[in-house]
Chain A
Amino acid sequence: MWKKLFAWLDERLGLNDLYKATLDRPEPRGNWWNTLGSASLFLFLLQGATGIFLTVYYTPSPDHAYDSILYIMNDVAFGWLIRGIHHWGSTLMVLVVFIHMLRVFITASYKYPRELTWIIGVGLLLCTLGMGFTGYLLPWNQRAYWATTVATEIAGAVPFIGDFITKALRGGTDLSALTLSRFFSAHIWMLPAVLAGLIGVHIFLIIKHGESAFPDKED
């Protein structure tokens, strides 16, 4: 019965081929350092899931942002767990993505034909940092407020257009309700959309080219 159902679906969806291409593809000699990309993907999905749950209660307005987070932490069942995973997961994701980049660099896996995979990876790293940057403001506590003040001020150091960048990031000259809502928008819509798209291409390229073998004495 199940076999028949699976065969029916497989014929139409190509499930077996999909499985072979994604999870059963040949690897060079196994190495735990090669798992960091998958770990990054897992963390992205975890952050996505917990983030979606957080938006159920979080309110991106200066009046209520902090109160809604206190509510999540103290009054909602398992709110502390969902927010805790999102909070620590973000730090871990930056760390894992960064080590993943180091490994690719050290094993020279960015070379032909994988240059584009590397460049897209750079985009993914920047997006990940952008997620950390925008997410940091959302609790709207003292630390968040002043960290964003400082960071947007740093962006102002760019020659000629610095002042404009600061204003564009803040949505005005000061940190305000506009800053909070545009950071929220970037955090839950724009950056995740870009991240998801780039991840798709990144994974497609990895499947296409396969994992690079570690360099040996000959290289």
Chain B
Amino acid sequence: MASHHISRRDFMKLVTFGAGGVIVAGVGIPAIDYLIAPALRKNAAEVWIPLGPLENFEIGKPVLVNFTRSKVNGWERTANSYGVFVVRKSETEVVVFSNICTHLGCRVNWNETVGGYVCPCHDAEFGPDGSIVRGPQPRPLNRYEGDNLKIEDGVVKIFFSEG
């Protein structure tokens, strides 16, 4: 019997599950936004960082320069430490490498005996020019150059951006 009448029982079922669905969606959809809210936040920083006078760097010897940037994450101000290798090429030329390994983000160290940058996590090895020597890394070390690097009043500066 194809009837348009709906039994009292089925009607109650429909209303119950319908109301339940509305409640679940009403809490559930905002809850998804609630969970991913920090991922959608812009927390960008762009700034010139002075690394020190060029004349202080010895020619041909990589020097690690650390600097700290703080930013507000949630309810806390987080201080992040960064490091870059400054390599003075000549009287006027300089190269700056990020010390962040291009494999999975550990920090590489300059290894005098190897004559390159070595990552302690998975043995990625980079040459003095930041190129891949061996290991799992997909790219050479990031370098600051062109518009992201300048020497102003004899001081080496890099353009730091994130976010």
Contacts and interface: CB of A to CB of B under 8 A. Distances in A.
Interface in B1-49: 27, 30-31, 33-35, 37-38, 40
A82 B31 CA distance: 7
Interface of B: 27, 30-31, 33-35, 37-38, 40, 74-76
Taking chain B's interface residues, is the majority helix, strand, or loop, or is none over half, making it mixed? helix
A78 B74 contact: no
Interface of A: 46, 49-50, 53, 56-57, 59, 64, 67-68, 70-71, 75-79, 81-82, 85
A57 B75 CA distance: 9
Nearest to A68: B75
Nearest to A69: B75
Contacts of B30: 77-78, 81-82
B67 to A, nearest CB: 26
A71 B74 contact: yes
A64 B34 contact: no
B47 to A, nearest CB: 24
A122 to B, nearest CB: 29
A8 B30 CA distance: 35
Contacts of A79: 34, 37
Contacts of A67: 75-76
A70 B30 CA distance: 18
Contacts of B33: 77-78
For the complex of A and B, list the 7 residue pairs with the smallest distance between their C-beta atoms, beginning with the closest. A78-B30, A67-B75, A77-B37, A77-B33, A71-B75, A78-B34, A76-B37
A57 B31 contact: no
Contacts of B76: 64, 67
Contacts of A46: 27
A77 B34 CA distance: 5
A81 B74 CA distance: 18
Given A78-B30, A81-B30, A70 B75 contact: yes
A79 B74 CA distance: 13
A185 to B, nearest CB: 21
B74 A57 contact: yes
A28 to B, nearest CB: 17
A76 B34 contact: yes
B74 A68 contact: yes
B18 to A, nearest CB: 15
A59 B27 CA distance: 22
